[in-house]
Chain A
Amino acid sequence: MGFLPFTLPFAELEVGQHLYWQIGDLRIHGQVFMTSWIVIGALLALVVIGTKKMERDPRGVQNLLEFLWDYIRDLARTQIGEKVYRDWMPFIGTLFLFIFVSNWGGALVPWRLIRLPSGELGAPTADINTTVALALLVSLSYFYAGLSNKGLRYFEYYVHPTPIMLPFKIVEDFTKPLSLSFRLFGNILADELVVAVLVFLVPLVLPVPVMFLGLFTSAIQALIFATLAAYYIGEAVEEHH
């Protein structure tokens, strides 16, 4: 932690430290995978419990799942359009649920109580690798959506409405994943850092409103990411006239 220009004991925060796992030649961030497995496990547990015995009159967890399903369907339908939203709903929904549960898990679960040899547990979305992976998946998705729906006519989009737009649209293909990944990464990491710094400086009372703000930001970021992903896919499959 030599990068901070002052020498307060901020090193306690352990920013940028990772627990490395070596798999063959590959090195991965163990703490990210550990929390992501917990997130995925929680999601799957919820889904399995909720869909175990589904009825026409919903009860218990089925209500929650149906509410989520409806919410995601509305999101996908308004952004992607009536025609193809069904194909992309699982992807948009998975992005939303994964990011949302990751963010809230990072904010609500006291990970710091579990000591790791290096680095610390936290929201998987506070690691740039995760957010870039999600953003690149979104990029691939909207290319795939455009090409599979319109074939090569997809590239008309680049010269629509005038060919002057071509360079801007090409630049957009790079800025979209960049902004998606950095927005999510920055917000979640900043939230964790702010809470950590406040807890370090004033351990009582003061961090609580910031924590609530963090929960709010986390939910909003998940929604923004899913909405933008859906919007990009919708833009790619939209028919120009």
Chain B
Amino acid sequence: MLSSFLLGATEGGLFDFDATLPLMAVQVVLLTFILNALFFRPVGKVVEEREAYITTNRAEAKQKLAEVQRLETELREQLKEARLAAQKVINAAEEDSDKLYREALALANSEANASREKARREIDSQRDSAMAELKADADNLGNLIVDRLLASK
């Protein structure tokens, strides 16, 4: 009985081999081709397309990021340069205005000095002439007094 169960010599049994085996094999092979056409190829296409899409997008983003970083450093450099240039301009302008101020101050000083000097000289000369006139008047008066005194005697 055990042998008939094992070998399937009679009807049934666990190890009853028959045409089920090759037909099942054919069925599985067919299923492989059908699933390949309906499942593995289309899904693979979608997944791989997405993977490619993600990869290219990532590469692009990386490239863009690098570009942005490059531009940023470049702009930073430019900003630094511009700042330096502006500082220079400010310094130059400050120096200029300082110079102008000094020049104007010096000019004004010298002009003031000159006009003061001129005024003093004028005052001096007027005083001298006034003194000379006074002296002459005093001399005349003196002479007149002397003449009169002499004449009365």
Shortest CB-to-CB span from B12 to chain A, Å, is: 5
Q: Which residues does A use to contact B, with CB under 8 Å?
A: 2-3, 15-18, 23, 26-29, 32-33, 36, 40, 43-44, 47-48, 50-51, 54-56, 58, 62, 65-66, 69-70, 72-73, 89-91, 93-95, 97-98, 124, 127-130, 132-134, 136-137, 189
Residue from the set B42, B43, B47 with the largest chain A CB neighbour count within 10 Å: B43
**Interface majority SS (helix, strand, loop, mixed), chain B:** helix
B45 to chain A, nearest CB (A): 9
Contact A69 to B40, CB < 8 A, known contacts A43-B35, A93-B35, A94-B31: yes
Contact A93 B40 (CB under 8 A): yes
Interface pair B49/A56, CB less than 8 Å apart: yes
In the bound complex, how far is the Cα of B42 from the Cα of A135, in angstroms?
A: 27
Residues in A with CB closer than 8 Å to B4 are 3
Given the known interface contacts A3-B1, A54-B42, A56-B49, the answer about A137 and B25 at a Cβ–Cβ threshold of 8 Å is yes
Chain B interface size, under 10 / 10 to 19 / 20 to 34 / 35 or more:
35 or more
The residues of B with any CB-CB pair to A shorter than 8 Å are 1-2, 4-5, 12-25, 27-29, 31-36, 38-40, 42-44, 46-47, 49-50, 53
- Other-chain residue from B2, B16, B28, B43 in contact with A94 (beta carbon distance below 8 A): B28
Query: How many inter-chain contacts with C-beta < 8 Å in the A-B complex?
Result: 128
Q: Which of A29, A40, A48, A51 contacts B43 (CB 8 A)?
A: A51
Q: Are A47 and B20 in contact (CB under 8 A)?
A: no
Q: Distance in Å from the Cβ of A29 to the closest Cβ of chain B? A: 5
Question: CA A90 – CA B36 in complex, angstroms?
Answer: 5
| CB-based contact A69/B47 at 8 Å | yes
Q: List 7 A-B contacts (CB under 8 A).
A: A40-B27, A44-B34, A51-B39, A62-B43, A65-B39, A129-B24, A132-B17
| Contacts known (A33-B23, A89-B40, A93-B40); A66 close to B14, Cβ less than 8 A | no
Determine how close the nearest CB of chain B comes to the CB of A8; give it in whole angstroms.
16
